Amino acid sequence: MDKAKEFTFTDRDFNFIKNLIATNTGIVLSDAKRSMVYSRLARRLRSLSIENFSDYCDLLKKEDHEEQVHFVNAITTNLTSFFREKHHFEYLSKTLIPHWKKTRQNEKRIRIWSAGCSTGEEPYTIAITLQEHFPDLEQWDVKILATDLDTNVVATAQAGVYAEERIEGLSNALKKKWFKRGKNNHDGKVKVSPYLQDLITFNQLNLLQEWPFKGGFDLIFCRNVVIYFNKDTQRILADRYADMLKDDGVLFLGHSETLFKVSDRFSLVGNTIYNKVR
């Protein structure tokens, strides 16, 4: 029991929360995440004027209560940046786009899914890469689907407004071309170009539930997502991703993730880059 803290947080409370987040999202929380869980949910207790975690857990037991959404949003982790893991975007620009231009000339149709888009930096980076390296992009039917479990980050991503320091790592040319600096009340902020937003559809999605689309994706980004799932759930997701990809489709995982001993439906072709096995 954590007696010295603002709110009483017992082993029973923590185990309930671990089981609930695993049931709702598939994310497995280790005991090492206890302090993180406390700090994130303590904000919810203050907001709701609840005096201890036991009462908060009782509230979460009401399955249809609106707090379920806030609970999931508070627990799920969202760390991202523009052009994170640059080798993926280099592979997209130097390998995949030339490949698509050769093999998709008849249909001129590209579909990309950012599964776990967080606050939007990933799908916007995909859009920038396409705009920069696909000269006749406007003549193609190109769409990016961006989804995340957390409704708050999806709303942030859709708005496309960021603190100016978020784009510090980008070249001046990219900053000038794809971001508009805010003025007056929006000083210190930037907004992404509508040319990028037009390529992207944002939606809330729980990866462990039914997916309301049929697939046919050329590329799926699922980076720093499967690391939170156990092996059985990873196997299920890998199968579902394979089903969603075209025969020459590609899957990108995060830097610490692997499909080794998880799925035989993909072959490793680069650093955390997988081709679907036909």
* Catalytic positions, written as ranges: 40, 148
Kindly report the CA angle at 269 between 123 and 208, in degrees rounded to 5?
50
CA atoms within 13 A on the CB side of 87: 10
- Would you list the DSSP string of the chain? --TTSSS---HHHHHHHHHHHHHHH-BPPPGGGHHHHHHHHHHHHHHHT--SHHHHHHHHTSTT-THHHHHHHHHS-----TT-SHHHHHHIIIIIHHHHHHHSTTT-EEEEEEET-TTTHHHHHHHHHHHHH-TTGGGSEEEEEEEES-HHHHHHHHHTEEEGGGGTTS-HHHHHHHEEE--GGGTTEEEE-HHHHTTEEEEE--TTS--SS---EEEEEE-SSGGGB-HHHHHHHHHHHHHHEEEEEEEEE-TT---TTT-SSEEEEETTEEEEP-
Question: Which amino acid belongs to residue 2?
Answer: D
Instruction: For residue 247, give the 3-state DSSP assignment.
Output: strand
Measure the CA–CA gap between 18 and 16, rounded to whole angstroms.
Answer: 5
